[in-house]
Structure 1
Amino acid sequence: MIIDRAFYREAAAMILAVAVVLLIVVTLMTLTLLLGRAARGDQSEAVLYVLLGYQMMAKIDILLPLAFYLGILLTLSRWYRDSEMTVLAACGVGVMHFLKPVTWLALACGFAVLIGAFYLTPLAARQIEQVKMESTQRSEPGLISPGVFTEAQGTGRIVYAEKAAKNGDLEGIFVSSMEQDRQGVLIAKSGQPFTDGKTGDKFLALRDGVLYDGEPGTADYRILEFAVYSLRIEPKKPTEAPVPTAGLPTLDLLSQYSDRNVGAELHWRLGKTIALFVLMLYAVAISYTDVRRGQMSNLFAAIVVYFVYSNLLGVGETMLQNGRVPLALGLWWVHGVMALVAAYLLWRRAHNRPLIALPAVWSRG
């Protein structure tokens, strides 16, 4: 049908446009957060963009339902605003006709959300923990951010460098450490990491510096100038990153379903796909608008619905974890309530009634 093909074409373009906008916004917000952590020295700059990629992968199953929801809403709103829906209604094509093409689009998007929720997001969660663990196990020069005091985990050594090159060379180095109950401070103009060919131990060759050893004012306090000082970099024992519940593979969730946290995670993953089909009903019901209403009235209502729905899902997951809701019920009660409300609003829209029935006194006023 010509109408369906036109709707498919415009709705798909709108969903894609909204998805791109949401992805850009979320990417910028996530990048700002990661840059702040790197500036504080909480993580290495070398893994910054790797973490950003995995963070974006983990958000596909959240961004896509929202993009689909807003894309359908904006498409139908444009048809209402330009009186195309009025012309179609005069030809016998009502709003309920669009449930079929919207459902087909929802099935396509739902399949992508299903893959994201049950495979991509858990995989990204595991990789994020692994990257964070590997970044903390890197050698001290690799953890140094220029202009930031960095504490080496396990040694208590504090390192600062004014400049750090990509090959690991450092300039303007300050090192403070406590060894055998003696405070030591090293200041050097430059430093280069190297590995001993015989033992395989890693060192930092500090050049043209001064060593302050001991407590100032005591008899054993020393000040030593050096041309080259080899500072040993303590190796870190490799450890395996812990797998959070959100990163467990779906098959592992099914085998451990009796655990409340695991069961809540499984319902949460499934709920992302179900929510897309419930939001589909709201998009069709709330899409009605006209010139007098303006372009933002129904969009505001749609955003309120989305936040109420997402917050209810979050509350439902917490109640599952706390044992206040049985695992058999899961999050179905949230989906059921929201679906019933959406069906009621859609029924009123199909019968050309206002979505909210006001009292007669109010309507006359």
Structure 2
Amino acid sequence: MILNRYLTREIGRPFAVILGVLCVLFGGYSVASILSDAVSGLLPAVTIMELTGLKLLIALDVLIPISLYFAVLLSFGRLYGDSEFTAMAALSVRPAQIARVVLSLAGVIALAVATLSLVARPWAYRTAHTITWQGATSLNVNAMQAGTFYTSEDGERAIFLTHRAGPGTPAQDVFVRRKLADHTEVIFARLAAPLQQTTADGKNQVYLTDAHVYEIDPVNPQNDQILNAQGLILDPESAPGAAPAYNPITANSTDLIWSSVPRDIAELQWRLSTPISTLLLALLAVPLSRTRPRQGKYAKFGQAILVYAGYYLLCTTARTWVEHGMISQFPGIWWAPALLGLVLLLAMTAPHLFSRRHKISTSNTPLSLGAP
């Protein structure tokens, strides 16, 4: 029990640090990728934070396995470098005992990854898509500034303010272009002021002074109309368009089980493979971390990065092949984890085979965990 707690603590500390650093880096990248929408007034700051949190939740089923993989590599590399594993071997601690500690810890983390991948990840995708869709059909008019074209993400609306003192104040020489069901509407107004009261559904309305409305029919030009109004109330947030198309990444895992569509099969297999990858990568880090005493805990990092990059590339390639029907449901993407399992088997059995030959040719010395 003392050994188990010690090894778990040695793995847990770098795991928490690495996962925290990766979350901060990914969160910063996510904020930067959507910050332009907040600056241009399309999305409020609260929505930006919601989308960032959802994207981080989506990425956890990838960030957690890689964090555990490098945590085991880092902690065991230090134990090898400080000859602590050599001391454990002198106390009759066998490699199987150490592997069981890693397997137990990785098993608990793999269950959490499975929950994230099968339940939390599709929910986060659905919520993020809903927020993005709503953002594509709305504009935060109170935050707009002069001299910038504001377009919705779906391209259905564009607004330009020529002069404005600041957010929430009246604007001069306003241009609005909206694509409606059967025609395009172009509005030019001398003055536009946001109304203080919003509608029942929380939308902001704008009062236009000296407005000129041009309704353009691209099919039948004879139906074009021009309307001049001294005063006009405009809702720049037009009715939402069609709901987002079906995407398997937003579907419930239970619904994907009964589907025979290649895209659904690839998505389900990807979700199921993440906990398996967590276990395999954590166990593979054990033989990869073997170093000579005082060699340094970072000695195998380059090799470990290449192994992970190759495995991730194989998984994504296999997923793409299944999505496009290039590979059937079986083997599907399972050949990639199977290949990693084969590499793990060879990495863990090769030192034992070498030790048997060494024992036959020399003496019956016990296996040293510090051997490279």
Task: Tell me if both proteins adopt one fold, taking TM over 0.5 as the criterion.
Answer: yes
- Aligned amino acid, residue 290 of structure 2: Y
**In 1, Cα distance between equivalents of 2:248 and 2:211:** 48
- Out of 299, 302, 315, the residue aligned to residue 300 of structure 1 is 302
2:255 aligned with 1:252: yes
Change (3 A) 1:247 1:80: same
Name 1:221's counterpart in structure 2. none
**In 2, Cα distance between equivalents of 1:51 and 1:284:** 36
2:123 aligned with 1:120: no
**In 1, Cα distance between equivalents of 2:234 and 2:127:** 30
**1:43 CA drift (Å):** 4.6
- Out of 188, 191, 194, the residue aligned to residue 192 of structure 1 is 194
**1:52 CA drift (Å):** 0.8
**1:177 CA drift (Å):** 3.6
**In 2, Cα distance between equivalents of 1:197 and 1:96:** 68
Report which stretch shifted further, 37-46 or 7-16. Answer: 37-46
2:16 aligned with 1:16: yes
Name 1:176's counterpart in structure 2. 175
**In 1, Cα distance between equivalents of 2:103 and 2:29:** 32
Q: Secondary structure at the match of 1:170?
A: coil
**1:251 CA drift (Å):** 1.0
Name 2:268's counterpart in structure 1. 266
2:139 aligned with 1:158: no
- Aligned amino acid, residue 275 of structure 1: S
TM-score, length of structure 1 as denominator length: 0.79
**In 1, Cα distance between equivalents of 2:113 and 2:53:** 18
Q: CA RMSD in A?
A: 3.4
- Aligned amino acid, residue 158 of structure 1: I
TM-score, length of structure 2 as denominator length: 0.78
- Aligned amino acid, residue 14 of structure 1: P
Name 1:232's counterpart in structure 2. 234
Name 1:276's counterpart in structure 2. 278
- CA deviations 1:162-213 (Å, max 9, x no partner) are 5664xxx23555522469999764454x732355989x99631358xx8799
Check whether the contact 1:149–1:158 (CA below 8 A) recurs between aligned residues: yes
- Aligned amino acid, residue 176 of structure 1: F
Check whether the contact 2:80–2:293 (CA below 8 A) recurs between aligned residues: no
Report which stretch shifted further, 321-330 or 245-254. Answer: 321-330
- Aligned amino acid, residue 86 of structure 2: T
**In 2, Cα distance between equivalents of 1:67 and 1:51:** 23
Structure 1 gap segments, 5+ residues each = 215-223, 354-365
Identical-pair percentage: 22
**1:133 CA drift (Å):** 1.3
**In 2, Cα distance between equivalents of 1:126 and 1:182:** 32
**1:157 CA drift (Å):** 3.9
Q: Aligned ranges for residues 1-365 of structure 1 at < 5 Å?
A: 1-39=1-39, 43-138=43-138, 141=141, 144=144, 148-151=148-151, 156-160=157-161, 165=167, 169-170=168-169, 172=171, 174-177=173-176, 185-186=188-189, 188=191, 191-194=193-196, 203-205=205-207, 230-234=232-236, 236-238=238-240, 239-256=242-259, 258-290=260-292, 293-350=295-352
**In 1, Cα distance between equivalents of 2:148 and 2:44:** 11
How many residue pairs get matched?
A: 334
Structure 2 gap segments, 5+ residues each = 215-227, 356-372
Check whether the contact 2:83–2:293 (CA below 8 A) recurs between aligned residues: no
**In 1, Cα distance between equivalents of 2:133 and 2:174:** 24
